[in-house]
Each structure stands twice: as C-alpha cells, then as structure tokens.
Amino acid sequence: MTATVIRPATEEMVLSLSCPDRPGLIYDISRMLIEHRCDIVESSQFSDRSASSFYLRAQFRSADGGAVDDGRLRQSIGALAEVEGMSWRLSRTGDRPRLLIMVSRFGHCLNDLLFRASSGDLSVEVAAVVSNHPDLEGLADNHGVPFHHIPVTPESKPAAEEQLMDLVDALDVDLLVLARYMQILSPELCKHLEGHAINIHHSMLPSFKGARPYFQAHDRGVKLIGATAHYVTADLDEGPIIEQEIARVDHTMSAEDVTKLGRDNECLALARAVRWHTENRILLDGQRTVVFR
C-alpha cells in the first residue's frame, strides 16, 4: 500500500502532461485541480494541430491554507490519464533534482553549472562529476563535489559504461549532463538514459567536425556561431533540441575570440536546458520539444 504524503501548504506543485487533443481538456484538468482545493498560479498549454496532440504545464498550490494531499491527487490524475491516454508527471517546486555531470578536458560548461548550482541559480544538487580525464578534479573539489575518473578506451568502454551506470543508480541521479564530454555513448546506454540525459555541442555541426571547430569556422569567415543543447539519443548530436544560442562574428575577431564567444554560447544554452528540464518545463513532441518557458 502506498502511504499518503501530505505536503507543506506553502509548497507549490507542478503538473505536466501530454495526450491526444480534444475539446474540454483544459476544463477537465482545471476542474480536477479545483476539486482538490488547488489554486493554479501559472498555466501554459499548446495544441499541436498537425499531430492532434495536447501539452500542458500547470503550477499550483493549496487554495485554502491547507496542504495538498499528494496521494489523493495522484490517484485522480492517474484515473484521468487512463481515460485520455495521457503521459504525466507531478513534482514539487521545492524538489532539487540530482545531477551527474560528465566532462572531458574543457571545463567552461562544468564551471558554469557548478557555480549556478552553488549560488542557487539552478535549484539542483550536483551528486558527482565524472570524467575520462583527471584534469578537472580540482574544479570539482573546489565546489565540494565528488569527482570520479573513469578512463575510456575502445577496449574498456563497456566496463566504463557499466561503472557509470552503477554510479547513476548508487547516487540516485535524476539527470545526466554531458558538459563537453568528448566520448560517444553506446546505443544501449543512450536508450537506457532516454529523456534523462542532455548534451551540448556547437551548432556548426556538421559543417565543422573534428578538432578546433571554432578555428575552422574562423578560417571560413562565418558570421554566426551557435550552440545546441539537446536530449541524448543513439543518433549522434541529433536528439530533440531543447535550446540554441547564437552570437554574431565579424572580421575583426581572432580565432581565439570566436572560440571564447562559442564557449559562452555553450554555457548559456546548456544552463537553460538544465533549468527547464529540472523545472519540468519540457515535453517531447515526437522529435521536437515543447518548452514552456
């Protein structure tokens, strides 16, 4: 038997859902929340008419100074979901999802995420940092975050991924963040992490592959550079896009200037993607995402 959990009255909750679209859905969902004495404080919805799909995010709190009965509310949502063919998630705004950040030798995205987490800009808990190189252990140590060095070679890759998944389970990780982790994950691992892993890459793919892409872009005289944060899938760098950031480049900038600007783009796009995911603002729409900012 599942125990009923009574939440503090001051705590707000978030319901996000997707289902086939039909007239009256917003009314039925709102009525259900009202019946549980919930006051909706923020609501966003989107109907994808091409796919006849409906998406909603509602943030709410107790309407009468009492506490939201988490167990009873979940039962009501579950009953509605069964009728509507609905995928849903209920969370609390006070939750601090646990992140595991993976990195190789470039530390800008790691440094940005660790600072945002420690300053409260991101409401998350960084459970650990994992790297295939030891270079950034000091950065993790400075933030009091455990660092795990898991070397990866073609021969050791299966064992390394098994060690990684053992960490994910042992640390109760909610989201894996590839913050410039320069290793390709196996299709099996990508499938296991589906919807719970975010990657960042420069948006010039596939134009400039390989080493020093920003130097390649500079040599070609590009005028815009960018970065893309997306969910990890077995299709390399082709998962559902969450956020993109761009910056303009001109002829006065050196290759080093372009690289610095590109890394700023990567930090911004990745931080936004992590925030929106951990605030339950992202829903999948096929190969696209619906992001309720």
Residue 209 has what pLDDT? 75
Amino acid at 72: R
Q: Which of 48, 69, 237, 257 is catalytic?
A: 237
Instruction: Identify the pLDDT of residue 6.
Output: 44
The encoded tokens of residue 253 equal 């900038």
237 neighbors 199 (Cβ within 8 angstroms): yes
**Is 237 known to be catalytic?**
yes
Phi first, then psi, for residue 8 (nearest 5°) are -60, 145
pLDDT in tens, the chain (293 residues): 334 444 444 689 999 999 999 999 999 999 999 999 999 999 999 999 989 999 999 999 999 877 788 899 999 999 999 999 999 999 999 999 999 999 999 999 999 999 999 999 999 999 999 999 999 999 999 999 999 999 999 999 999 999 999 999 999 999 999 999 999 999 999 999 999 999 999 887 667 877 788 898 889 898 999 999 999 998 878 899 999 999 999 999 999 999 999 999 999 999 999 999 999 999 998 889 999 99
Per-residue pLDDT, 185: 94
Q: Report the predicted TM-score, pTM, of the whole model to 2 decimal places.
A: 0.92
Q: Could you give the domains of the chain?
A: 13-92 (3.30.70.260), 98-291 (3.40.50.170)
- Give the Cα separation of 32 and 55 in Å (integer): 17
Residue 101, both tokens: 């950040």
Q: Which residues pair with 176 in a beta bridge?
A: 100, 197
Residue with tokens 């979940």: 74
For 241-268, the pLDDT digits (tens) are 999 999 999 999 999 999 999 999 999 9
Name which of 111, 8, 112, 150 is nearest 68 in CA terms.
Answer: 8
Helix then strand count (H, E) for the chain reads 8, 13
Pairing of strands 98-103, 53-62: unpaired
pLDDT at residue 280 in the model: 96
Instruction: State the pLDDT at residue 214.
Output: 87
Pair 210, 230: CB distance under 8 Å: no
CA angle (290 as vertex; 89, 172 as ends), nearest 5: 40
Q: Return the bridge partners of 243, or none.
A: 229
| Strand pairing class (53-62; 13-20) | antiparallel
Q: Helix, strand, or coil here: 62?
A: strand
Residue entry with tokens 């320069």: 182
Look at residue 141 and give its three-state secondary structure. Answer: helix
* Continuous H helices in the chain: 25-35, 70-84, 108-119, 137-142, 157-170, 187-192, 213-220, 255-278
Helix (H, G, I), strand (E, B) or coil at 264: helix
Coil, strand, or helix at residue 182?
coil
Respond yes or no on whether the N-terminal peptide bond of residue 206 is cis (omega within 30° of 0). Answer: yes
Structure token pair of residue 277: 């995911």
Region of residue 286 (phi > 0: left; psi between -120 and 50: alpha; otherwise: beta)? left
Place of tokens 């390649």: 216
